[in-house]
Chains A and B, each alone.
Chain A
Amino acid sequence: MSTDILFLAEFAAGRPARSALELATGAAELAASAGGAAVGLAYGLGAADGAAALGAHGAGRVIVLGDQDRPAIAHVGAAVAAVRDAGALALLAPATPNGRDLAAALVGLLELPAFGPVRAARIVDGAVETEQATLQGSVITTSRPVDGASTPSVVLVLPNTFTPAEGGGGSAEVTTATDPGDSPFARVKVVESHEADARVANLDEATVIVAGGRGVGGEEGFGLLRDLAGVLGGAVGASRAAADAGWIAYQLQIGQTGKVVKPQLYIGAGISGAIQHKVGMQTAEHVIAINRDPDAPIGEFADLYVVGDLFQIVPALTAEIRRRKGG
């Protein structure tokens, strides 16, 4: 076993996902305390060309699993070989559908301890130690692998748990994994692709999210939220109720069955704050709720609760922030 830390580096449409940069830095932090190096496992369109640049964010070495636009799970065969060779202490994976699928297959095939999704990870006494919100956020648990467990420990990591280091300038050493080609997962094929919304912001990359729920009332209401998100440099999200109503794309749904986000600032407008939504945003650093109902559940976990009409307050706030920014 080495003291290296592996991370999954997802690429799409020719560039690395924000999670790839965050996990490169996270893996480098853990590797520094363990005395090893951060080693990326890169896959998706653009992985081959973009792998070396992950060095700027902390990666010492990157192994390219594949550069095709396929479901991540198709790369399991190559990933297993790379993970066996690396003999690392831990593997950080993004808590996204693709990251979870690839991580899960490694857990099943290599008999690995699995953690997460976690809000913090560190190396203590030669093993990974994680912090996770469990029982619907009512407790924070610390976990470790049992003595003698195989390595690497697989750790699902929430977005924005690590802040990408910039300007490292270094270039990662890049190698290409050999795909054994006999993986049953390679039989999973995309047979049709449909574009629904040409422009859907990537919530995983947003540090500010303005989310709307049933109280937003329709597509027009989401226009107001988009304006506010615009002046804050953020993205628009939604509760399931708003997505089910067809006011906004499902890609922007936050919650148990949508995205799990961890922005610096979350503003919820017309969102009651049901448990299913809460588990998708409870680790946001700052939470503002704007709601007509003075007693909505979101008041129990908001830092600032504004009781009033979002159709008046949101545009007024947009104008006020624009004014302060001198725009």
Chain B
Amino acid sequence: MKIVVCIKQVPATGADKRYTDDFRLDRSGVEAIINPLDEYAIEQALRLVDSGGADTVTYLSMGPEQAAEALRRALAMGGDDAVLVTDSALAGADEWATAMVLAAALDKLAPDVALMGMASDDARGSLVPGAVAAKRGLPLLSYGAELTVADGAARIRRLSATGYDWIEAPLPVVATVTDQVGEPRYASLKGIMAAKRKQLETWSLADLGLDAAALRGAALTRVTASVPPEAKPPTERIENVAAAEAATRIADWLAARKLI
């Protein structure tokens, strides 16, 4: 049972982020991390190995050359090897192009479970996993609070409107997990040392048999403008008053805005 965990390198949560003049993320001088929600996918994969449910874990990322750092960091948590797909033709890739590239790399790696985080910190569409599954013609098990694999099938526990369901599909599958799978482990010093010796391959679009022209400039969408959010009026404050007085003033505030 082979798992490939797809991870993305993103700017650190809370870092001061800006766009370049052509509306791409300005990565200069911004600390880069593994997308925090991808760490839960890593943790889930390693737990499956720990419990004997999986044999190998490979990490896959698409990004600039420095995304290799994120893969090394993942390898320090555990797992066997990693692949970075990097190509100058992929700068500014949108969700569709990212999905096409990951799908091609996953075709080559042929895992039983391709595992991803439920969303990325820097783009909030959560569309890549479903698009990858569709492109590869595989079932999608999404938003798992837990993932199990047995008897040639994968199962996820997923929140429903009023409780939870177990959802199942035959292997191979594409799956995503949430932050309910358990807190990601820290890399030990031993893990960090071991990661340096693990194999990290770099693939180009040509290695995947993909033609840059077919990826249509890596994006079907373009940003045409970017502005700061509308300036809100300064925050009004109510403090140092008794609860009854605070309640009256909150109610006045609501009434002035026709909210009650």
Whether, in the assembled complex, A149 has its beta carbon less than 8 Å from a beta carbon of chain B, the answer is yes
Counting CB contacts under 8 A, is B88 at the interface? no
Contact A187 B170 (CB under 8 A): yes
CB proximity to A under 8 Å, residues B83-121: 94-96, 99-100, 103, 118-119, 121
Interface residues of B, dominant DSSP: mixed
Which residues of chain B are within 8 angstroms of A153 by Cβ–Cβ distance? 221
Of B122, B135, B222, B241, most buried by chain A (CB within 10 Å of CB) is B222
B236 within 8 A of A: yes
Number of interface residues of B (CB under 8 A): 91
Flag whether B66 is at the interface (Cβ < 8 A): no
| B232 proximal to A (CB < 8 A) | yes
- Considering only CB atoms, which chain A residue lies closest to B216 in the complex? A146
Minimum C-beta distance from B135 to chain A (A): 4
Nearest to B124 among chain A residues (CB) is A117
Q: Among B44-52, B55-63, B68-76, B140-148, which stretch is in contact with chain A?
A: B140-148
Residues of A within 8 A of B37 (CB): 256-257
Q: Known: A113-B220, A303-B235. Is A309-B243 also a contact (CB below 8 A)? A: yes
Interface with B: A1-9, A57-65, A136-144, A166-174, which one? A136-144
> Least Cβ distance of A309 to chain B in Å?
7
In the complex, the answer to whether B140 meets A305 with C-beta atoms within 8 Å is no
- A257 to B119 alpha-carbon distance, docked (Å): 8
Residues of chain A lying within 8 A (CB to CB) of residue B213: none
What is the interface residue range for chain A against chain B? 35 or more
**With an 8 A cutoff between CB atoms, is B29 at the interface?**
no
Cβ-neighbour of A187 out of B139, B178, B235 (below 8 A): B139
A residues apposed to B, CB below 8 Å: 12-13, 71, 73, 76, 97, 100-109, 111-117, 129, 133-146, 149-150, 153-154, 156, 184-185, 187-200, 202, 208, 232, 240, 250-251, 256-257, 260, 264-265, 275-276, 279, 286, 288, 294, 299-309, 312-313, 316-317, 319-321, 324-325
State the CA gap A169–B247 with chains docked (Å): 42
Of B119, B127, B137, B248, which is in contact with the most chain A CB atoms at under 10 Å from its CB?
B127
Distance (whole angstroms) from the CB of A264 to the closest CB of chain B: 7
Structural contact, B132 and A108, CB atoms closer than 8 A: yes
